[in-house]
Amino acid sequence: MRDFFSGLVILLIVASMGLLEAPDRDRMVSAGIAAQAQEIAAAQKHPVEVLVDVRDITVSGRVESGAERAALLKELKTIEGVQSVRHELVVLPNAAPFALTIEKTGQQAVASGVVPSVEVSRGIAAALDIPADGLTLATGAPDADWGTVAGAVALALSRLENGQMSISDHSVALTGQAILPATVAALKNELSALPGAYRVTLDLTALDDGAPYSFFASRDPRMGMRVSGKLPPDVEIADLIGPLGQVHDLQVAAAPVDLGLPGFAEAAALGSRMLALLPQGHLVLTGATLTLGGGPLDATGETELRALVAGLPAGFTAKLALVPVDDDTPLGLTILRDEGGLSVSGKAPAGFDPAALAQLLPDAEIALSQSPYPDLTQWGATALQVAALAGHLGEGSVTLANDGVRVDGVVADEAALLALRAAVTELREDIPVEANVDLADAGKPPRFVVTYDAVQGASVDGILPKGLDLALIAQALGLADVGGDERKSKLGEPAQIQKALRVVRAWLPEAENLFLTFDQGDLTLTGVLSPGADAELILKETRDAVDWQKRPLLQLLTSFPKPETVRMNAALQAEQIFLAGFWLPRLDFEPSLEACRAFTGEALGQGGVNFLSGSRRLDARAVRVINRISAVARRCVNDGGLQLEIGGHTDNVGSARDNRRLSNARARTVAQAIGLRGVDAAGLQALGHGADLPIADNATREGRAANRRITFDWPGPLDDAQ
């Protein structure tokens, strides 16, 4: 094979020089010698350069030993037609011990010692911004990992403010200072993964304790004035606490370096002046948020305080808690309707008029206490909306608390339930609502519809059977949640429904929409599948798995969205984009060989390509991985100019000829499916390997199953592959 490619290279070089049109034996021989000499040079450990003058070769570069030099010269001399081989080869010195030392101070680094290759030298130079030619190439590295270890330690040194690294054979030492403890911990963790042959000694410390800036101050009649925190390095502590008067407990530290929060010192100084206005209270400044609480404060003091708040640096916010004394009971409202009638209790803000509730609930007995604080959160308006909810309950309760609204009870009929739902939608969007409401006729038999949409997700409408709820439906479908009001019958058996839901779950990511209907024991299914789904196979699997009263009806999507439409698939919880008539995963990455291989591996990690037994027909689940691979291939083939090699493989059951035919047919099927999704066919190569490349033992069932597979490889740019 090597001779074949060597001959092909020679032929291409000869053709490019125009030699086929004007035969010249010396030029043809020279071209052939040059091609073989370049191939030999490329196989050397260190870069070497060969120059060919008709039949004479001159080679220059570095080698590790006299024996390596002799072997290279001997191999060049064996090229047919060579008359002489001259060399300018330099034998690298042998270093013992094989050692490297680098010292870093601030942004400057000085290195001395040896490295095993130009690549290692360049890597270290790039990590520490030092000249690559300052390091000496030598032989004598204790093993092949030495260069990788040196590069890793150099990267670690680059993250230190000051430090020194040294490597001598298998001994590694790194000392120095990082800014934060998190950096020290990360470096220790990374360097713990060095090969086991290397003995690593670390002496790393942090300049800072890792805590952010903070400023705490409190004035209390019994404890006095207390101040603590961590401040920027340029803050004058005496000036900062001066407005606070006598400080009884001072525990303030200055950060050794600037932690990068501009304006903190100014905000702390303003906060100190704010607290000085309060007879008692506390100040907390963390991050860019200043919290001040205490009092009492008259109108003049409040005006002065708010002027200080207005002077906070840009990006800083203040939270003020200047409130009179209260019993600390939170605001709340409870409306109860039972056999004893209708009652209202709770605590309202100052200024709230209970008469507004009486107008909505004229028969209610109202007993509300009042807070001395004003309504700062539109509590009154929300309370009136909550009261409207209670008007739809036959019996039960409605509660408004700090954590949202809760509705428990029974409504008379469907109309009352719809009215209650409408009233809930009038509440502010930021108010959580928890409802547990049943129809008074919950003894009716179960009758409901599960609706699924690829964008909106799933919801339930109707009465569920005993033992089934929204959470169980979501679990059976593999969804995070299912919408709808949870109304339950006291009748019914959920086993048949749950089985149907689990069957649907297997192909739910391929559904555009579906409707699963249960009506007094009759179970029916209709829906629309995404382009590319095998409706026939999905229908067969679904029909065979469940006892349906009517045959399920599934059809492919016929009304397509605009190209490049983007959506979030509810079943996959992933973005999709409509391209070339298919919903493909939305990917955005630079199409390098490394990235393409990584994204392909990630796609196959979610499942491989499978076929019907003994056939080239894809099974019902294959569309999912075909779509994932196609999304990668559109970036890597169409945009990156790379070639995708699709390999078909079988086990060793049957004849080699039949296996090769089947594997080739399957690879071509996959290539055609990917091509239909907008991937340039010129960048796709389908190969059938039969049973020639097993990855497991064909003597076992598991091994044979592993060997029956489709592989996806990225050999390189399309031009190179051709």
Query: Per the structure block, which two tokens stand in for 334?
Result: 């409870």
Spatial separation of the C-alpha atoms in residues 71 and 87, rounded to whole Å: 12
pLDDT above 80: residue 324? no
End-to-end CA distance of the chain: 17
| pLDDT in the model for residue 552 | 87
Structural Rg of the chain based on CA atoms: 38
Spatial separation of the C-alpha atoms in residues 507 and 522, rounded to whole Å: 22
CA atoms within 13 A on the CB side of 455: 7
- Residue 439, H or E segment: strand 433-439
pLDDT band at 266 (very low <50, low <70, confident <90, very high): very high
Query: Do 417 and 375 form a contact (C-beta atoms < 8 A)?
Result: no
pLDDT above 70: residue 63? yes
pLDDT above 60: residue 441? no
Contacts of 701 (CB under 8 A, 6+ apart): none
| pLDDT in the model for residue 649 | 95
Give the E-state strand segments of 36-75 in sequence order: 48-53, 56-63
pLDDT above 50: residue 207? yes
Query: Do 585 and 600 form a contact (C-beta atoms < 8 A)?
Result: no
- Ramachandran category for residue 525: left, alpha or beta (phi over 0 → left; psi -120 to 50 → alpha): beta
pLDDT band at 721 (very low <50, low <70, confident <90, very high): low
Say which amino acid occupies 543. R
> How many other C-beta atoms lie within 10 A of the C-beta of residue 16?
10
| pLDDT in the model for residue 645 | 96
Spatial separation of the C-alpha atoms in residues 101 and 32, rounded to whole Å: 46
Say which amino acid occupies 498. Q
Identify the residue with better confidence: 424 or 452. 452
Query: Do 72 and 89 form a contact (C-beta atoms < 8 A)?
Result: yes
Cα dihedral 464/466/467/473 (nearest 10): -10
Instruction: Give 204-255 as a DSSP string.
Output: EEESS-SPPPEEEEEEETTTEEEEEEEE-TT--HHHHHGGG---SEEEEEE-
If we measure between CA atoms, which residue out of 462, 542, 474 comes closest to residue 507?
Answer: 542
pLDDT tens digits along 386-428? 888 888 887 888 999 988 899 888 777 778 888 888 888 888 8
If we measure between CA atoms, which residue out of 397, 463, 384 comes closest to residue 435?
Answer: 397
- Ramachandran category for residue 507: left, alpha or beta (phi over 0 → left; psi -120 to 50 → alpha): alpha
Contacts of 626 (CB under 8 A, 6+ apart): 532, 609, 618, 670, 673, 674, 677
pLDDT above 90: residue 648? yes
Strand partners, 59: 50, 87
If we measure between CA atoms, which residue out of 648, 483, 629, 509 comes closest to residue 567?
Answer: 509
Question: 97: cis peptide before it, omega within 30°?
Answer: yes
Spatial separation of the C-alpha atoms in residues 594 and 527, rounded to whole Å: 40
pLDDT tens digits along 114-138? 998 888 888 998 888 888 777 888 8
pLDDT tens digits along 158-194? 999 999 999 999 999 999 999 889 899 999 999 999 9
| pLDDT in the model for residue 720 | 64
Spatial separation of the C-alpha atoms in residues 405 and 397, rounded to whole Å: 11
DSSP code for 510: G
| pLDDT in the model for residue 454 | 94
Spatial separation of the C-alpha atoms in residues 526 and 517, rounded to whole Å: 9
Q: What is the pTM of this model?
A: 0.44
Query: Per the structure block, which two tokens stand in for 225?
Result: 């004035």
| pLDDT in the model for residue 296 | 79
pLDDT above 50: residue 2? no
Report the mean per-residue pLDDT for the chain: 87
pLDDT (average), residues 521-535: 90
Query: Per the structure block, which two tokens stand in for 568?
Result: 């979030």
Query: Long-range CB contacts (< 8 A, 24+ apart) of 285-289?
Result: 285/213, 285/214, 285/215, 285/216, 285/229, 286/212, 286/213, 286/214, 287/212, 287/213, 287/261, 288/261, 288/263, 288/264, 288/315, 288/316, 288/317, 289/316, 289/317, 289/318, 289/319
Spatial separation of the C-alpha atoms in residues 477 and 505, rounded to whole Å: 5
